[in-house]
Amino acid sequence: MQLMKQVMVILAALLLLVSCASVSEKNQKLAEQSMQKGDYASAFDQASHSLHAEIGNHKAIALFPAIAEHAFAQKLTEIDHYRAAANWDRAAYGYDRIIDMNRTVQSIQDAMRTYAQKVQVTRARRAAMNQLLAIRQHDVAALRDEAYERAAAGHYGNGKRYQAARDYRQATQEFNQALSFVSGYRDAIKLAAETKHLADLADARIEYAKGGQAIRTHDHRAAATAFARADAFIRGFKDAHQLSMKYMAIADQEDALANYLQGERLAEAHHYRDAAAAFTAALGFVPDFRDATQLATHYTDLANREDARRSYREGERLMDRQEFDQAAIAFDKADRFVPGFRHARDMAARARSYIAPEFFELRGLVQKSVDNGIPLSWLRDVHQGYAEDVKISTIRIIRQGRFNTTHEYWPYRLQVKGVCDLEVAKGNEQKLAFDTVVDYRVFRDDFGEWRATFR
C-alpha cells in the first residue's frame, strides 16, 4: 500500500512537470514569434510566463536578456514621446509598466540564482544564465512621481476651466481624475463635491421642467419618470418626489384601464388567450383593479379549453393519417391545457403504442418469430423433414401497409434471408440457405410488447 502511494506521488509529479514544460514551451514559441514582429512588449510577457512555468527552459533563458533590453527600450522611447506631447497620463502609466517589468525581472533573477546553484550545465548555458542575472533594472520611481504630479495638475487645470464654463459634470470628472493620480491633490476633493452638486442641481432642474412639460401634454408616465430622476439627482428637490408618486399612480390607473378595456375587446372577439394576458397586464399596474383577477382566470380557463379542443381534434386528424408520433404529442398538449380533458391521456398512450417499431427492432422480432422453425416452403425446393436452428441474416422491407386499427397490427411484406438446419432423419441434418418473401403481422401482445407472426 505504501509503495502504491509513492508511485502515485511520483506519477503526479511527472504529470505536473510535463504540464509545466508544455506551458513553458508554448509561451517561449509565442515570444519568438512576437520578437519577429518587433512586438517586444508581448514577447517580454510571454518569455516571463515561460520562465515562471519552468525556470530551466534554456531556450527561454537565452532569449530573455535581449527581449528585456528591447522591451525596456521600446517602453522608455514611448514614454519620451508622451512627455514631449505633455500627455502625462500615458507617461505615468508607462512608468507603471516599467516598474512592473522591474518586478518581473527581479522575480526571474531570484528564481535563476536558486536554480543556478543546483545544476551542472555547459559553458554556453552558464553564460546565458549569467547574462540573464546581469539584466539591469530601471529606476523610474522619481520620474513616475513627477508624471503623476503633472497628470494630476493637468486634470485639475481642466477641471477649473470646465468649472468656469459651468460644465460642472465634466469638471467633476476632471477633478476626480486628478485625485486618481494624486490622492488629496490640492482642494480637488472639495471642488469635485461642489461641481457634482452643481451638476446634479442643474440636471434636477432640467428633469423637473421635463416633468412639467409632460403634465401639460397629459403624458403622466413620462412626468412621473422625470420627477423621479429630478429627485434622484437631488434628494428632496422641491416637491419632485411627491409629484413622481402622484403621477405614477395616475399613469398606473390609466394603463390599467387601457389594458382592461383591451381585454374586453379581445374577449368579445373570442381571443381569449390575449384577453387573459390583457387583464393580467392591468393587474400589473394596479393590483385588484376592478374584477380583472376574475376575468383573467375566466378567460385563461376558456383559452385552455379552446386550445385543448383544438389539440384533441388535431390528434384525431393525425391518427386518421396514421401519424401516430405527432398525434401523441397533440393529445399530450390537450391534456396539459386541461388535465383530464376527455380521454386525451389514454389517446396519447394509444397513439404511442401504434408507432411502428424501428428497423433494428423489426429484425429482432422476425428472428424471434422463427425460433421454433420455418415452413419448408421458405426453402423453395421440395424438401421433407423440419427446419430448426434458424438464423436470419438480413431482412428488407418490400412494403409496409397501413396500420390495421381494428385488429391493431402493422402488415409488412419482407424479403427474409438466412440459414437453417434441415432435420431429415435423426442424425441426418443438412445446412440450407433461404431467400424468400413473407407477409408478416407485427402487433403488441397482452403485455404491450411487440410480436411478429408470418402468414
Per domain, the residue ranges of the chain are 18-139, 146-216, 312-354, 359-454
Across 7-13, average pLDDT: 46
pLDDT, tens digit, 9 for 90 and up, residues 288-301: 999 999 999 999 99
| Nine-digit cell string for 297 | 382566470
Residue type, 120: Q
Residue 127 is predicted with a pLDDT of 95
**Does pLDDT of 375 surpass 60?**
yes
Residue 379 is predicted with a pLDDT of 87
User: Distance between CA 173 and CA 183 in Å, rounded?
Assistant: 15
2-16 as b/e: b if 16+ CB within 10 A: eeeeeeeeeeeeeee
Cβ-proximal residues to 416 (8 Å cutoff; 6+ apart), any chain: 366, 378, 392, 394, 395, 434, 435, 436, 437, 438
User: Distance between CA 256 and CA 154 in Å, rounded?
Assistant: 55
Q: The whole model's pTM is what?
A: 0.66
pLDDT, tens digit, 9 for 90 and up, residues 387-404: 889 999 999 999 999 999
Taking all residues of the chain, what is their mean pLDDT, rounded to a whole number?
92
Residue type, 363: R
Which pLDDT band, with edges at 50, 70 and 90, does 20 fall under? very low
**Above pLDDT 70, what percent of the chain?**
95
According to DSSP, residue 93 is labeled: H
Cβ-proximal residues to 266 (8 Å cutoff; 6+ apart), any chain: 272, 274, 275, 278
pLDDT, tens digit, 9 for 90 and up, residues 76-101: 999 999 999 999 999 999 999 999 99
User: Distance between CA 88 and CA 185 in Å, rounded?
Assistant: 16
Residue 385 is predicted with a pLDDT of 80
**Above pLDDT 90, what percent of the chain?**
87
Cβ atoms 268, 291 nearer than 8 A: no
- Site of grid cell 432640467: 206
pLDDT, tens digit, 9 for 90 and up, residues 402-415: 999 899 999 999 99
Closest by CA position to 383, among listed 430, 444, 343, 415: 430
**Does pLDDT of 383 surpass 80?**
no
pLDDT, tens digit, 9 for 90 and up, residues 331-341: 999 999 999 99
- H helices of 165-289, in order, are 168-181, 188-216, 220-233, 240-268, 272-285
User: Distance between CA 308 and CA 321 in Å, rounded?
Assistant: 20
Cβ atoms 344, 312 nearer than 8 A: yes
- Site of grid cell 405527432: 326
Across 202-208, average pLDDT: 97
**Does pLDDT of 6 surpass 70?**
no
User: Distance between CA 41 and CA 56 in Å, rounded?
Assistant: 22
Taking only Cα atoms into account, the Rg of the chain, rounded to an integer number of angstroms, comes to: 43
**Does pLDDT of 2 surpass 60?**
no
Closest by CA position to 307, among listed 333, 283, 288, 325: 333
CA 26 to chain centre: 29
User: Distance between CA 295 and CA 266 in Å, rounded?
Assistant: 12
Residue 431 is predicted with a pLDDT of 87
